[in-house]
């Protein structure tokens, strides 16, 4: 569930505004992708790009890219404009761009960490990057429409509904992403798992809706304030929207990673709205237990000595306990700084090498409401209340949601709750993304050409097809 890729762990907080009519014309002329180079003084030169677009409410949105670093769609958390001047940035990465919109270029500067680097961006059709064999390519043998879902609190979720031709009423699914500020395709490491899954299912006669998380890409809202309950409410809004359509007969939810938890939450709280659930690497353990387990398994998979694994796992327990025992961001940060300051030299070196960065053991993540809410989440309680058919799959090499422990809990609580309509399996040789892998570690994702093992696509499609 946690994402240790530092650039992808940035917060996608949204700053929305409406443009004047005169200025909107200028900016609309510059919608699309722009790419250039920046040179770090006495350092390397690398690519930087932006995409400008209209969000679901018509306001200006933007994303950043750095193809040389494998980043292609990082949502900007600040966008503002005046005249022909545009400013955008990602606060958590300390990146800010100030640009002037000329007829055929965006010219200005990039600021980060005290550095000021000139840049000139030219229009491009694509940022490039790896071409994965399974990524769907047009033309598609089905309908694809942009569909905006309005949530209970007024956020507008921008998404894509794919639907087979030639069917009056079809079974539909809502796709629920894993953790982090991800887009409708759940883009990670050059892979687009939800685009692949949606394409495959739609070719099998199943309608699929996938959407950008609130505050990410073309969806409105504030991502920095989300907690699992908020994300579950957003998913339920999508379910309700599909159920209201005359061309949809039945609706299920398919969740990956944290999305599996959200699927259980939606099905438990709205049993009449959800006809079936598919959990792909979804958690069964309580939040704090899962977080400690995935840390420990990650250390084990890296081959650390058992004594170091024990010390690091003990640090994880203390870190999460500190998060849970402090109600405010300020008190959490102060308590965690005290925890880190009290470590002996050996433990401090271990933590610095293996338990720092942009993941769940970082001060930045701990300061957000999301982490404490996730730690307190009681996944077993939700699964116990799910009464509809369930397919739960995990990769046996999964580090982030280890298969044995999580699937055992899901099976146990579903059975205890009286649900006999369950299919549960750990799939050998597959990682958290259901790629055929060796180590299962997140560092391996980008090096693998496979996005999702074909057998998993077939298994999901077969299950959903029986729910008609």
Per-residue pLDDT tens listing for the chain (468 residues) = 654 332 223 323 233 333 333 345 667 889 999 999 999 888 899 999 999 999 999 999 999 999 988 888 889 988 988 888 999 998 878 899 999 999 999 999 999 988 999 999 999 999 988 889 999 999 999 999 999 999 999 999 999 999 999 878 999 999 999 999 999 999 998 899 999 999 999 999 999 999 999 999 999 999 989 999 999 999 999 999 999 999 999 999 999 999 999 999 999 999 999 999 999 999 999 999 999 999 999 999 999 999 999 999 999 999 999 999 999 999 999 999 999 999 999 999 999 999 876 688 989 889 989 999 999 999 999 999 999 999 999 999 999 999 999 999 999 999 999 999 999 999 999 999 999 999 999 999 999 999 999 999 999 999 999 997
Intra-chain end-to-end CA distance of the chain, in Å: 30
pTM given for the model: 0.91
Spatial contact of 440 and 399, defined as CB atoms under 8 Å apart: yes
- Cα–Cα distance between 106 and 259 in angstroms, integer? 38
pLDDT computed for residue 78 by the predictor? 87
pLDDT of the residue at 25: 60
- Ramachandran angles phi, psi of 87, nearest 5°: -125, 135
Among 223, 225, 211, residue whose Cα is nearest residue 181? 223
Measured distance CA(304)–CA(68) in Å, rounded:
31
- Helix 454-465 × helix 193-203 angle, to 10°: 50
Q: How far apart are CA 281 and CA 276, in angstroms?
A: 16
DSSP state of 244: T
DSSP string computed for 104-172 = TEEEEEEEETTEEEEEEEEEES-------TTS--SSPSEEEEEEEEE-TTS-EEEEEEEEETT-SSEEE
143: number of Cβ within 10 Å: 14
Residue keyed to tokens 């890219």:
65
CA count, 13 A, side-chain hemisphere, 400:
26
In angstroms, the CA 412 to CA 252 distance is 22
Distance CA 167, CA 208 (A): 14
Q: How far is CA 278 from CA 51, 173, 255, in A?
A: 33, 9, 6
| CB neighbour list of residue 357: distance below 8 Å, 6 or more residues apart | 4, 6
Cα–Cα distance, 350 to 343 (Å, whole number): 10
Cβ-count burial of 337 within 10 angstroms (0-12 exposed, 13-18 middle, 19+ buried)?
exposed
Torsion angle of the four alpha carbons 256, 261, 265, 268, in this order, in degrees rounded to the nearest 10: 90
Q: Which pair of tokens denotes residue 367? A: 């300061």
β-bridge partners, 251: 172
Cα dihedral sign, 218-220-226-230: negative
Q: Is-contact 37 118, C-beta < 8 A? A: no
Cis? peptide before 67, omega within 30° of 0: no
Strand partners, 310: none
DSSP 439: S
Query: Computed over its alpha carbons, how large is the radius of gyration of the chain?
Result: 22
> How many CB atoms are closer than 10 A to CB 329?
14
Contact 37, 45 (CB under 8 A): yes
**Measured CA angle at 400 (ends 398, 403), to 5 deg:** 45
Token readout for 213 is: 């998380």
pLDDT confidence of residue 24: 53
Residue 245 is given by DSSP the state -
Q: How many Cβ atoms from other residues are within 10 Å of residue 290's Cβ?
A: 25
Structure tokens at 224: 């920095």
Phi-psi region of 228 (alpha: psi -120 to 50; beta: other; left: phi over 0): alpha
Helix (H) or strand (E) segment spanning residue 66: strand 60-66
- DSSP category for residue 392: E
């Amino acid at each position: 569930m946690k994402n240790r890729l530092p650039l992808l762990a940035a917060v996608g907080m949204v700053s929305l505004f409406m443009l004047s009519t005169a200025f909107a014309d200028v900016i609309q002329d510059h919608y699309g992708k722009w790419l250039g180079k920046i040179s770090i003084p006495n350092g390397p030169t690398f690519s930087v790009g932006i995409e400008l677009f209209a969000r679901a409410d018509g306001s200006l949105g933007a994303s950043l890219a750095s193809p040389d670093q494998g980043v292609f769609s990082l949502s900007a958390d600040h966008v503002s404009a005046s005249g022909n001047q545009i400013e955008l940035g990602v606060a958590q990465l300390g990146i800010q761009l100030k640009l002037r919109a000329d007829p055929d270029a965006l010219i200005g500067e990039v600021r980060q960490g005290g550095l000021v680097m000139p840049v000139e961006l030219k229009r491009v059709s694509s940022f490039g990057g790896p071409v994965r064999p399974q990524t769907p390519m047009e033309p598609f043998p089905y309908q694809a429409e942009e569909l905006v879902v309005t949530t209970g609190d007024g956020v507008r979720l921008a998404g894509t509904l794919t639907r087979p031709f030639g069917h009056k009423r079809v079974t539909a699914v809502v796709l629920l992403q894993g953790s982090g500020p991800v887009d409708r395709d759940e883009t990670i490491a050059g892979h687009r798992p939800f685009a692949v899954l949606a394409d495959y299912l739609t070719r099998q006669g199943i309608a699929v809706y996938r959407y950008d998380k609130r505050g990410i890409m073309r969806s409105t809202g504030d991502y920095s304030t989300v907690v699992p309950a908020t994300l579950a409410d957003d998913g339920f809004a999508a379910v309700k929207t599909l159920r209201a359509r005359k061309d949809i007969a039945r609706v299920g939810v398919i969740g990956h990673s944290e999305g599996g938890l959200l699927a259980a939450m939606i099905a438990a709280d709205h049993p009449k709205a959800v006809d079936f659930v598919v959990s792909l690497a979804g958690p069964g353990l309580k939040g704090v237990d899962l977080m400690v387990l995935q840390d420990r398994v990650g250390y084990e998979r890296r081959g650390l000595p058992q004594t170091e694994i024990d010390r690091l796992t003990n640090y994880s327990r203390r870190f999460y306990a500190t998060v849970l025992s402090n109600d405010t961001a300020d008190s959490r940060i102060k308590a965690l700084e005290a925890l880190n300051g009290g470590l002996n030299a050996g433990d401090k070196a271990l933590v610095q090498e293996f338990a720092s960065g942009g993941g769940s053991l970082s001060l930045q993540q701990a300061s957000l409401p999301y982490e404490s809410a996730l730690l307190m989440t009681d996944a077993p309680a939700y699964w116990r209340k799910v009464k509809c058919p369930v397919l739960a799959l995990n990769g046996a090499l999964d580090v982030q949601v280890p298969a044995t422990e999580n699937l055992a809990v899901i099976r146990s609580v579903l059975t205890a709750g009286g649900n006999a309509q369950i299919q549960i399996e750990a799939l050998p040789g597959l990682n958290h993304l259901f790629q055929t892998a060796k180590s299962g570690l997140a560092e391996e994702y980008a090096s693998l050409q496979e996005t999702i093992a074909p057998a998993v696509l077939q298994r999901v499609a077969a299950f959903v097809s029986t729910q008609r």
